[in-house]
Structure 1
């Protein structure tokens, strides 16, 4: 029975490979040849992944971009005002220093209340956007964020997720060391998000922040 299933799987896989060849080559001309990878009877679901890996190897530079491809990240609109004030919210703020002030290189700034035990500031990007990094800055009064976490929502209805490090723990980003020098942190892996939240966990004097998000808009 196992041999019969193996032969059946191989036959089915070869037909699939042929269909893939026809579909890809009709658009890209011939850029590879050879037999398909041998299917593994113990893990037939993995065969398609092997096929796609072979296609990428044999057709370098021909892969269609995935949603998280962002080879040239750009500012997403905090500094230049494309992100409107009503899309920026925070857990708390001084009356003089609302969340909408938290724009990179702004003369003003966002400041949390001293009583805020779990401060955060978030940006609603409205639509799914590839986010690759964050640029942070302190304020002219000498306060700044030295460490922070990043959380995001894939959709407005989605649960909030934290950016993790290589060990699976919530990643701690190193922020600023003075009031005015911008510090850029790139994510190890870009994320597709509609809402991005910065959670300060360390600061000098107070949690004061100006920032920009980096990434690409999905077309």
Structure 2
């Protein structure tokens, strides 16, 4: 059995199902995209958010936003403060359910995540990563499906890179800070290879 995932264009969110491919019922709902498995190897990972072919600001979204100067589009790795931004995303709600998410330019192999703190202070200390398509769960043991928790940053500017235990085929990825100091805010990028 493999998990089937997709992307809902209206709500701009990833979804996951434990249905097998054979159990998927075709739908005429053209707002949802369902992904099929692909077998490729990502040998030369690149940044998928702000690399050679960066995503648009509209492809970045978050569970909540503290204020206009803290929006998801300011969460790109190495963003610096300016008159219009503090240089990072910050959540409006302070709990472990907050996330920032990116919809890739197309189907991609995800191999890791790079994370920085907010340029003014440091926030996430540990986080989880979720992808909206996975052939075999990389989130811990397959029998418990527990999340894989990665160490985050402990300062403002050092890029902390975490490599996933196995690559994941995905259309979008979500970073969920689960521990933080004072407030949830960060800059990030996702490592991987575009498949198109």
* Same fold at TM > 0.5: yes
Q: Which runs of 4+ in 1 moved over 4 A?
A: none
Q: 1:215 to 1:79 in 2, by over 3 A?
A: closer
Q: Which residue is equivalent to 1:171?
A: 148
Q: Deviations over 1:167-218 (max 9, x none)?
A: 7531001111111111000001000000101111011221111011111111
Unaligned ranges ≥5, structure 2: 1-37, 81-86
Structure exhibiting the larger radius of gyration computed from Cα positions: 1
TM-score scaled to structure 2, two decimals? 0.69
Q: Deviations over 1:63-94 (max 9, x none)?
A: xxx73301111111336771100000000012
Matched, 1:82 2:59: no
Superposed displacement of residue 150, structure 1? 1.0
Indicate conservation of the 8 Å contact 1:78/1:211, yes or no: no
- Counterpart Cα distance in 2 of 1:86 and 1:100: 8
Q: Which residue is equivalent to 1:103?
A: 76
Q: Deviations over 1:81-134 (max 9, x none)?
A: 711000000000122200110000001110001445510110001421001010
Q: Which residue is equivalent to 1:215?
A: 192
Superposed displacement of residue 142, structure 1? 1.1
TM-score scaled to structure 1, two decimals? 0.62
Q: How many residues align?
A: 149
Q: 1:117 to 1:148 in 2, by over 3 A?
A: closer
| CA root-mean-square deviation | 2.3
Indicate conservation of the 8 Å contact 2:117/2:186, yes or no: yes
* Structure with more of its chain in strand, by fraction: 2
- Counterpart Cα distance in 1 of 2:94 and 2:123: 17
Unaligned ranges ≥5, structure 1: 1-65, 156-160
Indicate conservation of the 8 Å contact 1:149/1:162, yes or no: no
Q: Deviations over 1:21-61 (max 9, x none)?
A: xxxxxxxxxxxxxxxxxxxxxxxxxxxxxxxxxxxxxxxxx
